[in-house]
Amino acid sequence: MVVYDLRRLRVLRELQLRGTLGAVATALGYTPSAISQQLAVLEKEAGVRLLDKAGRGVRLTDAATVLCRHAAAMLAAAEAAEAELASMAEQVGGTVRAGGLSSATQRVLVPTLAAVRRDHPSIRVEISEIELEQALPELRLGNLDLVISDDYDGHPRPRPAGLRFTQLLQEQLMLVLPADHPLARHEAPVPVASLRDDIWITSPSGSGHDALVVSTCRALGGFEPDIRHRSNDADVQLDLVRAAHAVAFLPELTLPTNDPTIAIRDIADATINRRLMILTRDTPPTPALQRFLDSMSGLPVARHAHAW
């Protein structure tokens, strides 16, 4: 009977998800030749060819794809065993690696970190600001334990198998205007059509937020928005509202209070929502991760949203 080394199985899974030996080497902190050696040993253990040459790189054989499927199950079982054993310890310790987009990192992950440091000082927390496209492979491979992502009405994110998606909160998008904008003179909700001649700010092209702005202007205003500025950072978008005399749709969570330099108004034509989602692997959480999730659910923003 073959006894597989879980570390080598993880290398194979990394290659399946990342695509190149160089990317796997960078992720794991090894040289490409060391990764090739690990895969060569795994090939001998399995007794079948796992890699074929493909141009200057390699591709997985059918046998490797089968082994990757079983590797995922074995790695998940090992993770579940580790979580169960950790739950038997008298004091909760361990590491939680969490990542998220900019606004979620600042307003959810950092306050949760502070709560965990106060209530569970033996838990080590590592925070990374990261976009979902980069975060998903890290989460599935175990390099992250939790990711905060978002999606917008009409523009849902993909939901890959093997991950658990839990809604943290739902919040409304607001129109943000410069304080001296003509439409800021009144408190009334602003029709999208009245923003036809304005300069717009969105997140980068291809993002859910960018798609939302474009589709909303088309559907509710009948125009193509003049998008001149793009940023993933809500604070940068707010600075652009002030400096460029531009307008933006931003979630409530990202907005300041009592800022005289901007005006925040409801959108007259529709209520548009954003949801913050917690992504974890679909395996039992370690005690440390469970404490982190519990602390997150206790944040004022989560309690206010009534989403748990």
- pLDDT digits over 259-280, tens only? 999 999 999 999 999 999 999 9
Which range is least confidently modeled, 88-92, 118-122, 184-188, 297-301? 88-92
pLDDT above 90: residue 193:
yes
**51: exposed, middle or buried (Cβ count in 10 Å: 0-12, 13-18, 19+):** buried
Pick from 256, 257, 231: nearest CA to 246: 231
Under 8 Å between Cβ of 279 and 167: no
CATH 3.40.190.290 domain locations along the chain: 91-308
Average pLDDT over residues 298-308: 59
Residue 204: which pLDDT band, with cuts at 50, 70 and 90? very high
CATH 1.10.10.10 domain locations along the chain: 6-86
Average pLDDT over residues 193-214: 95
Map residue 166 onto helix, strand or coil: strand
- Decide if domain 6-86 falls under CATH 2.130.10.10: no
Q: What are phi and psi of 129, to 5 degrees?
A: -85, 120
pLDDT tens column, 275-287? 999 999 988 899 9
- Report the top-level CATH class of 91-308: alpha beta
pLDDT tens column, 40-55? 888 888 888 888 888 8
Give the containing element (helix H, strand E) for 275. strand 273-281
pLDDT tens column, 245-256? 999 999 999 999
Instruction: Flag whether the pTM goes above 0.85.
Output: no
Residue 7: which pLDDT band, with cuts at 50, 70 and 90? confident
The pLDDT value recorded for residue 308 is 34
Residue-by-residue DSSP string for 3-43: ---HHHHHHHHHHHHH-SHHHHHHHHT--HHHHHHHHHHHH
Average pLDDT, the chain: 88
Residue that has been written with the tokens 């291809």 in this structure: 206
